[in-house]
Structure 1
Amino acid sequence: MSGPIRRLGVVGAGTMGAGIAQLGVSAGIETILHDPIPEALERGAAQIGAGLDKGAARGRWTEAEADAARERLSTGSALEDLSDCELVIEAAPELPDLKRELFGRLAKVCPDAVLATNTSSIPVSSIATAAAKPENVVGMHFFNPPPVMRLLEVIAADQTGERALALARATGEAMGKHVIVAQDGPGFLVNRCGRPFYTEALRLLQERVADAAQIDRICRLAGGFRMGPFELMDLVGSDVGLAVAESFMELSYGEPRWRPNPIQARMVAAGRLGRKTGRGYYDYSVEPYRPEDPKRPDAASGPLPAPEGLIDCSARSLAAQRPDGVGFVRLLEAPLVELTRGAGTSDAAAEVAEAHFRSLGLLTEWVDDAPGLVIGRIVAQLVNEAHFALGEGVGSEADIDAALEIGLNHPHGPLAWGEAIGLPAVLATIDGLWQERREERYRAAPLLRRRVASLQRC
């Protein structure tokens, strides 16, 4: 197949750069991989060859197609080797000064080419200022590993022209990616809209609503997530997570929704960075690092009746409603129900409530009291953040949902989730948290509040 461009340049032969170059040659585009370090260039070319061989072995393409793709790859140790390229994608380390210096040089070497940065966190607008023609600069945020991950996030800087945006999108589509377009800003779409999954989980842990293993288990069983937030933070590394959180805080000038959590700083100070150090929120010196999730119980032939004093805590805490009752939250048709007890809840009432839900074939998990408990609170914040992003014009509804569903493997996009739960219910959870916490992080997105008001008027 032929791509939208004849020749592609990739700067940086590390894991990301080599993966992007593999996508280029596989899309039928002559691709030049550049790195000033000969050993890195050799390793990158070898990684591409191994990737093409693996794809052929798995039947994704034929050996002849792999050989043809390999022929389309060349390497170059000088930036001048990229002078003929119509598109150059930079995959250098995440250092702002390095990237700006590189874009200044690239603009001289290939003055008419579209220059794309693969940054995941640096404002594209700040990189574009280094180029002689900033309208030619665009973000192309691939996810790791590029040949496997389906999403490509194209970022429009303030200076980006329509030609650069269209070429980046067309090239991504030729590479087989689902392309979304985001306006420049902290975290773009994927990392911004996915923040509450981590920030709210950390806050729940800080408030001792549940421990890390419980929160993860609830997210898997009640939310349908493949991994819980603490498992993912361990996988990425707490040092990386803290750096990202600090970057969000700096770029947003102190937005309360994105404030780093002291727990992150303590984990980094203690050297508990996650899997790479053998210890994070879990201990990886033992296998398995966590037990298997429990199986759903069989429903009783005659389910037990709902006990008196069973209180829905989706929008308000049990303490604010009936402290001697039993609070619960069940998200849609989830197989797990969260339960909480108040200061006046008897052991007998708690046992009856748990038995009731188990007779319905549902798992139960006891947590401390809070509006939305665990899963209701996390999902409400995901929906809320999506409405902030949508209202600020960062991306379209479809792209916001694709960002989390395809980019982060969430079970649903946040806006689709809001429609399924009901926006009034989401807003009630957010407002309940605000009423009880009085913190700016729990203010509702203006667009969410307007949408709910429109529904109520109708």
Structure 2
Amino acid sequence: MILGVVGAGTMGAGIAQLGCAAGMRTVLHDPLPEALEAGEHRVRDGLERWAAKGRADAAAAQLLVTASSLQGLAECELVIEAAPERPDLKRELFAGLSRVCAEDAVLATNTSSIPVTSLAGAAERSENVVGMHFFNPPPLMELLEVIRADQTGDRALALARQTGEAMGKRVILASDGPGFLVNRCGRPFAGEGLRLLAERVATHDQIDRICRMGGGFRMGPFELMDLVGIDVGFEVAKSFTELSFGEPRWRPSPIQARMVAAGRLGRKTGRGYYDYSDESGYRPEDPEPRAPAGGDGMLVAILGDGPVANGLRERARAAGYELREGGPAELVVDAGPIPSEHIPGGAPLLALCASGSLASRAEHGAVGFHLLPPLDESRLVELTRGPGTQSFAAEAAEEFFGRLGFHGEWVEDAPGLVLGRIACQLVNEAAFAVGEGVGSEQDVDTGLVLGLNHPRGPIAWGEAIGLEHVMAVLDGLWSERREERYRPAPLLVRKAATATFARRTS
């Protein structure tokens, strides 16, 4: 097959490298001579490195040719444009390629945000237009998102998928729409992080640390926004809002607008949410929790059902605590997603903040907490206190979770606290996307793990957390915030109700 690539920047050169390595004759085009020359060098250097590692044939670089005009792409069976994210430019390209290429040539766009349907309309044969969203950098990222526009025909879709697989990519399919599948389902990571910061539930560095240590993310949302560019994220958020006609879940944050106005755009300007001027690093190393131990037979009552309660029982036994389901105890932990009806008195109470904030429970002396299952992969517990929380209860909470092997992070009160809120919104957005037919559950999870480096996909998160827990957090946020952004997806409501019914009848 003859592959054409329009645009010789980082994305275009990376796609061309993949084409040559897959044995395709590849024509690289860029209207700017200096960009074309630089792109050609990038492709040849990349292929040389791959050949040395055995990842590409030594003759792969001979498959690359360059073209200074669109006419040089006339023989291509598939052309992938990787031009700047400007709708007018991409539409002009598709119109020009339609005149140059054969009638059955497939034209693909690498856009990450522009609706493919709107671009396909500029081509003479719109059924031959498809989205092929590579992730940056294309030679290293395993994922390819193939997007079907309203006009896309089966042949174009099949060729895009076959080409991606020939390049060694894991291909997922998505319907056209804001952010397609991966960027849409990943939006709550930054979006909810910004809301938590705006509400002063936690500071930006706390939120990042909680995501890393409690959820296994490589970076927290604010580190990631600094890396991508705060201005880039702001523009994407505005695009989502425009394309969705104001969907509350996707609205930009005033914090983003202020950061952009101040010129604090992230790493590229030396300062964003973090200051990058210090050569020693922009943040300290995460603390290392101590090994589970030290329970010494202390009597603890752990109430409730579900992954958190069951996981805490296992950790408490391993640390040497003696569990008491009834009768007197030295510490009571209410760890179910729904508060227990009968809570023993006479001991400090630690209450899971899922279905509501600590304040909503009216347990004025209690300490609130939240953990995200699976607990054997977590190293952090979030803690919160109310006006009536006594210091001895706070100390008891820190000591108990410390002996279980968790670092304690004190935050302000809210349903789900920090990580529970972010994770449950990720699950909710995925349920909206799957329910609307944007993609499959498997492709959602594959996309977020391979495309965004999440530790697990939102469908897997929902299974690990438990849908009752997810619904409890969302219902608690809706009850206390009264915001449409926290309405649960219809598919999630149905699945949670089915799971609850199955559990009660088993």
Instruction: Report TM bin, short chain.
Output: over 0.9
**Residue 16 of structure 1 aligns with which residue?**
11
Q: CA RMSD in A?
A: 1.0
* Structure 1 moving runs of 4+ over 4 Å: none
1:302 Cα deviation after fit:
2.6
Q: State how far apart, in whole Å, the 2-side matches of 1:197 and 1:182 are.
A: 20
2:349 to 295, 309, 316: 309
Q: State how far apart, in whole Å, the 2-side matches of 1:60 and 1:330 are.
A: 44
**Residue 319 of structure 1 aligns with which residue?**
359
Instruction: Mark the CA change 1:350 to 1:301 in structure 2 (over 3 Å): closer, same or farther.
Output: closer
**Residue 428 of structure 1 aligns with which residue?**
472
Q: State how far apart, in whole Å, the 2-side matches of 1:378 and 1:34 are.
A: 42
TM-score, normalising length: structure 1: 0.96
Q: State how far apart, in whole Å, the 2-side matches of 1:326 and 1:100 are.
A: 57
Q: State how far apart, in whole Å, the 1-side matches of 2:405 and 2:482 are.
A: 37
1:257 to 225, 249, 263: 249
| 1:275 maps to 2:270 | no
**Residue 292 of structure 1 aligns with which residue?**
285
TM-score, normalising length: structure 2: 0.87
**Residue 34 of structure 1 aligns with which residue?**
29
**Residue 3 of structure 1 aligns with which residue?**
none
Larger Cα Rg: Structure 1 or Structure 2?
A: 2
Q: State how far apart, in whole Å, the 1-side matches of 2:90 and 2:16 are.
A: 19
Q: Secondary structure at the match of 2:488?
A: coil
Paired residues for 1:56-455 under 5 Å: 56-57=51-52, 59-61=53-55, 65-66=57-58, 68-110=59-101, 111-286=103-278, 287-302=280-295, 305=300, 306-307=331-332, 308-321=348-361, 322-332=363-373, 333=375, 334-455=378-499
**Residue 50 of structure 1 aligns with which residue?**
45
Q: Secondary structure at the match of 2:28?
A: strand
- Match of 2:79, as an amino acid? V
Instruction: Give CA deviations for 1:188-246 in whole Å, capped at 9, x if unaligned.
Output: 01100000000000000000000000000000000000010000000011100100000
Q: Secondary structure at the match of 1:406?
A: helix
- Match of 1:311, as an amino acid? A
Q: State how far apart, in whole Å, the 1-side matches of 2:72 and 2:242 are.
A: 37
Q: State how far apart, in whole Å, the 2-side matches of 1:361 and 1:383 are.
A: 27
- Match of 1:263, as an amino acid? I
1:346 Cα deviation after fit:
1.5
List runs of 5+ in structure 2 lacking aligned partners. Answer: 301-330, 333-347
Q: State how far apart, in whole Å, the 2-side matches of 1:301 and 1:328 are.
A: 20
1:384 Cα deviation after fit:
0.2
Q: State how far apart, in whole Å, the 2-side matches of 1:300 and 1:400 are.
A: 38
Instruction: Give CA deviations for 1:300-343 in whole Å, capped at 9, x if unaligned.
Output: 33355435221110221000012321000111102211100001
Q: Secondary structure at the match of 2:422?
A: helix
- Match of 2:285, as an amino acid? E
Q: State how far apart, in whole Å, the 2-side matches of 1:361 and 1:379 are.
A: 22
List runs of 5+ in structure 1 lacking aligned partners. Answer: 1-5
Q: State how far apart, in whole Å, the 1-side matches of 2:380 and 2:69 are.
A: 57
- Match of 1:365, as an amino acid? E
Aligned residues: 449
Q: State how far apart, in whole Å, the 2-side matches of 1:178 and 1:267 are.
A: 36
Aligned-residue identity in percent: 68
1:81 Cα deviation after fit:
0.9
Q: State how far apart, in whole Å, the 2-side matches of 1:112 and 1:268 are.
A: 44
Greater CA drift, 10-19 or 447-456 = 447-456
- Match of 1:310, as an amino acid? L
Instruction: Give CA deviations for 1:66-125 in whole Å, capped at 9, x if unaligned.
Output: 3x1111000011111111111000000100001001101101111320000000000000
